[in-house]
Amino acid sequence: MVSPKYHRVEFGSTLVRALHGPTTTDPYEEHMTVNTQPVADRPDPRAFGLPVVEQDQIPDELRSLVAGVRSLVEAVADTEADPATLAEVDETVRALTDRIATGPRQVGTMVRRTMADGTDELGTITNIVAGPTNPAAPPLELERVEGGVQGTVTLSTTYQGPPGLVHGGWIAALLDQAVGSASGVETSPGLTAKLEVNYRNPTPLFTPLEVTGKVVRTERRKVYVSGWIRANGQVTAEAEALMIRVPMEEG
């Protein structure tokens, strides 16, 4: 469970502080979206010193490389290759790393993705769950549904906790991404103030996981969101979250 006193996030020279409030619990079976009118004028990250990359401008070669490195990580995690082979691959990987390390992107670089229904979503380009340039991301790609978002992802042994099962921390991360995205597209961008996860059943590896986040209601800056994960039609985890919409003012 994530329940710090407050969050502090730097947007260029802007400091945003989001205070917390109480949460409510709503079962995923009975879901209703209340008073969640999308904000027409969303803040432009560039006004706060954050670069924005359009997702369709990411080179295909980089996308291919990201997928290849993700596969490499999976292979390394499960390999039983002999020491000579490991040493040879290690040398090659180090050389390739030196070749590509031309300097990091600016911290906070954002990517804008257009969902299937035309909704624009902003997120950090290296987001650990959904970042298109991050090989550590599964990746989870969410699409707009009534009241929120939904997507499917399959996790390998690099996300393993107990034998054959997804690590609980990654389950929480998937749910956090879903509730945050739902809040963002249904209202406006915000931060997770509270996330309560109920692990109802084991979440298996190598199985398509349906991840959903839906807004329940709003109270001024507070956005109450429910999320859940299904595997083979069965709910394996659910979450109740409180998001705080952040007032992004220049200064």
Q: What is the CATH number of the domain that holds 224?
A: 3.10.129.10
CA-CA-CA-CA torsion sign (150, 177, 129, 134) = positive
- Identity of residue 87: A
Q: Per this entry, what is the length of the chain?
A: 251
User: Could you tell me if 214 and 208 are in contact, meaning their C-beta atoms sit under 8 angstroms apart?
Assistant: no
Task: Give residue 204's domain range.
Answer: 6-39+139-245
Residue 33 is assigned to a structural domain of this protein = yes
Q: Which residue has the higher pLDDT, 16 or 181?
A: 181
Residue 96 is assigned to a structural domain of this protein = no
Q: Tokens standing for 154?
A: 């399959």
CA distances from 126 to 16, 66, 149, 195 (A): 21, 11, 20, 22
Three-class secondary structure of residue 170 per DSSP: helix
Three-class secondary structure of residue 223 per DSSP: strand
Residue 163 is assigned to a structural domain of this protein = yes
Residue 200 makes CB contacts below 8 A (sequence gap 6+) with: 235, 236, 237, 238
pLDDT digits (tens, 9 = 90+) for 72-98: 999 999 999 999 999 999 999 999 999
Query: Would you say residue 11 has pLDDT above 90?
Result: no
What is the pLDDT, as a whole number, of residue 197? Answer: 99
Residue 115 is assigned to a structural domain of this protein = no
CB atoms within 10 A of CB 12: 14
Work out the average pLDDT over 162-188. 97
Residue 114 is assigned to a structural domain of this protein = no
Domain count, the chain: 1
Query: Would you say residue 20 has pLDDT above 70?
Result: no
Three-class secondary structure of residue 210 per DSSP: strand
Cβ-in-10-Å burial (0-12, 13-18, 19+) of 91 comes to exposed
Share of the chain above pLDDT 90, in %: 74
The band of 40, judged by pLDDT with boundaries at 50, 70 and 90, is very low
The band of 42, judged by pLDDT with boundaries at 50, 70 and 90, is low
